[in-house]
Structure 1
Amino acid sequence: MKTSASVNALLALAALALVAPLLSGCSPVTYKTVCPTLVPYSITQQTQLAEELVAAPDAPMLHQVVRDYAGLRDQVRACQAKGK
């Protein structure tokens, strides 16, 4: 019976020796950050927006939303710069 047990142990070690390289050969998971795409605005459009904001000083919510959007655009630019 000892021979059977040692043969089984030897077969188990041989199987482990064959499987271990297959398991260790897996490449690590890599993640890629995908940044949103910015909508480009022409100088004319930017000038028109600035004029409309100056013309509407009594619209604080509009001004807040535009500031928030500008901040988001800055974050997207930073994300895109890291990806280069």
Structure 2
Amino acid sequence: MIIPRSMRLLMLLTAMALVAPLLSGCQSVRYKTVCPTLVTYSQTDQTLLAQELVATPQAITTHRVVRDYVGLRDQVRACQASGK
């Protein structure tokens, strides 16, 4: 009995559809969080920044940006502490 070419193609595609999931593996994708590295500021730098902020209370935007930066540094520390 000779199988028509279209039937062989259909059989091949069916076999591939059944085997493909087996070849794809069962492991799930694992993502690794990489925490940013913090810049270390000396005590002198921190003191100078504090003095500049106290000396310029009218620099509202600068104060807000520094507060945001402090928050980001806290988040990086939390990330690093969790071992990610």
Common topology (TM > 0.5)? yes
Residue 42 in structure 1 maps to residue 45 in structure 2: no
Q: Which one-letter code corresponds to 2:28 in the other structure?
A: P
Any idea what SS the aligned residue of 1:72 has? helix
Question: Take 2:24 and 2:67, find their aligned partners in 1: how far apart are those partners?
Answer: 50
Q: Measure, in 1, the Cα distance between the counterparts of 2:72 and 2:25.
A: 41
Per the normalisation by structure 2, the TM-score is 0.67
Give the superposed CA RMSD: 2.5
TM-score, normalized by length of structure 1?
0.67
Structure 2, unpaired ranges of 5+: 2-14
Distance 2:31 2:39 in 1: 25
| Correspondence 1:51 to 2:45 | no
List aligned pairs for 1:12-51, cutoff 5 A. 23=23, 26-51=26-51
Using the alignment, how far apart are the partners of 2:27 and 2:82 within structure 1?
24
Deviating runs (4+, > 6 A) in structure 1?
none
What are the Cα deviations for residues 27-77 of structure 1, in whole angstroms up to 9, with x where unaligned?
332211001111100101000000000000111111000000000000011
More helix by share: 1
Equivalences, count: 70
How far the C-alpha of 1:25 sits from its partner, in A, is: 5.7
